Amino acid sequence: MYKFENIKLLYTHVLDSVDKDYVLMQIGKRNVSLDSWVEQRMINIAEQTNASIVYSHYREKNNDGTIENHPCIAYQSGSLRDDFDFGDVVLINTDILIGECIDLLDKEWLDGGWYAMRLRLSLYGPIQLLPEFLYTVEKIDYRKSGQKQHDYVDPRNRQYQIEMEQTLTNHLKLINAIAPVEKNEVDIKNEEFDIEASVIIPVRNRVNTIKDAVISALSQHTDFDYNVIVVDNASTDGTSELLASIDDKRLHVVKLNGNEGMDIGGCWNLAVLDSRCGRFAVQLDSDDVYSSDETLQKIVDKFREEKCAMVIGSYMMTDFEMNPIPPGKIDHAEWTDDNGANNALRINGLGAPRAFYTPLFRQILLPNTSYGEDYAMGIRLSRDYKIGRIYDVLYYCRRWEGNSDAALSIDKVNANNFYKDFLRTCELEARIQINDNLIYE
């Protein structure tokens, strides 16, 4: 098995083995123990499917010697994340590698060229998941999912992120999926609203945190009228009673009985479609708080200044007492007006807090899910409209054991990643269709 270091050395290895149609390659740095006949099994699948890459499920060996299965997810055209989990072992079609990737040898890649190479290979043959557990690796990362999920925005990885962005941009150009640079402005005074802004808080069983969130929202100092709409999704832990005890006419609680089938996206839709919703709908999760009493004003000012469809702020990762914790400030500084909409298809999130121009939100609506629902809206709007960015910390994102994404199972992480890849696939296809139509007009 060849151990991948960089694409130049891989090319040399393949050219020295001209009789090989495929190369079995280790792309991870962990110790690997292959099952019998792994290579032949992968070659069989590659030949049957004309695959450019074959990868498989694998197992992880813990420090105590126990073994856990680690399934992977199927690759989609929208699987554009540079951290897509192929495991540690892949099979590469050498004819496609030699014929289509030679121009990638001209650059020194921070990841050895793996991201650029697999994007290129995906254009000339399917990337095929073999859903069998074919090898075992030594587990070395024992962090919980909530600790891993922000690795991609760690400022220590900034140069890597810049390279990955440019790599994806080049790929999108090749497949005619680049988002338009020119964006539509929003006529934010086109419709009449009784309220200028609404803070939207979906909640279910957050008795320990919901009051902090609501008081944070109600404490905003603004030059406009606003309200707070809480959608209580059938809480049973005292959250409903606590909300009822808050005496403020600006607070509106939409109480669900649990039979409506609402996830977070559905709760958002109910709130924004409510006649009491303001011109701008501004996010606040039931675990979190705004960083100051000026947050809402800053967000609305950004809408007014840039006539954008969506505004995204920056946030600080904190513990329950709001003490900063690694990686600290999350500002998505990689966003630019000219390329942010393209890079959005690579990264796992766009930032927080998120705010939307209500009339446009009502035209699209969020998917009724509890993961990726806001990302779906963000990439959709970024195709046609300007996204306003605020790089000051507007929001404290509190991490605690009760967070819904603090310690997810591998099956749940996979389901979340597969869903976001699906969203990217849909957006990718939409952009290609638009660009293709422009060519023929």
pLDDT digits (tens, 9 = 90+) for 367-388: 999 999 999 999 999 999 999 9
Strands 197-203 and 280-283 come out as parallel
Tell me what pLDDT residue 335 has.
Answer: 87
Exposed (0-12), middle (13-18) or buried (19+): which is 258, by Cβ within 10 Å? exposed
Tell me what pLDDT residue 30 has.
Answer: 93
pLDDT in tens, 66-76: 999 999 999 99
Judged by average pLDDT, the poorest of 17-21, 143-147, 240-244, 387-391 is: 143-147
Give the Å distances, CA to CA, from 321 to 289, 324, 336, 397. 11, 9, 33, 11
Mean pLDDT of 326-335: 86
Extended beta strands in 86-165, E state: 89-93, 127-138
Question: Residues 423, 376: contact at Cβ < 8 Å?
Answer: yes
Question: Residues 314, 331: contact at Cβ < 8 Å?
Answer: yes
**Average pLDDT taken over every residue of the chain:** 93
Residues linked to residue 92 through DSSP beta bridges, in sequence order = 23, 53
pLDDT in tens, 162-193: 999 999 999 999 999 999 888 999 999 889 99
Query: Which amino acid belongs to residue 375?
Result: Y
Structure tokens at 339: 């390329």
**Torsion angle in degrees (nearest 10) through CA of 402, 253, 314, 82:** 60
Give the Å distances, CA to CA, from 340 to 11, 189, 350. 33, 26, 9
Q: Which helix (H) or strand (E) element contains residue 15?
A: helix 7-15
Structure tokens at 220: 């905003």
Of 179 and 142, more confident: 179
Backbone phi and psi for residue 200, each to the nearest 5 degrees, phi listed first:
-105, 125
- Residues present in the chain in total: 441
Residues 182 and 279: their CA atoms lie apart, in Å, by 24
SS3 121: helix
Q: What is the pTM of this model?
A: 0.93
Query: Which amino acid belongs to residue 251?
Result: L
Question: Residues 70, 411: contact at Cβ < 8 Å?
Answer: no
Structure tokens at 163: 């390279």
Give the Å distances, CA to CA, from 208 to 201, 219, 324, 366. 15, 19, 20, 27
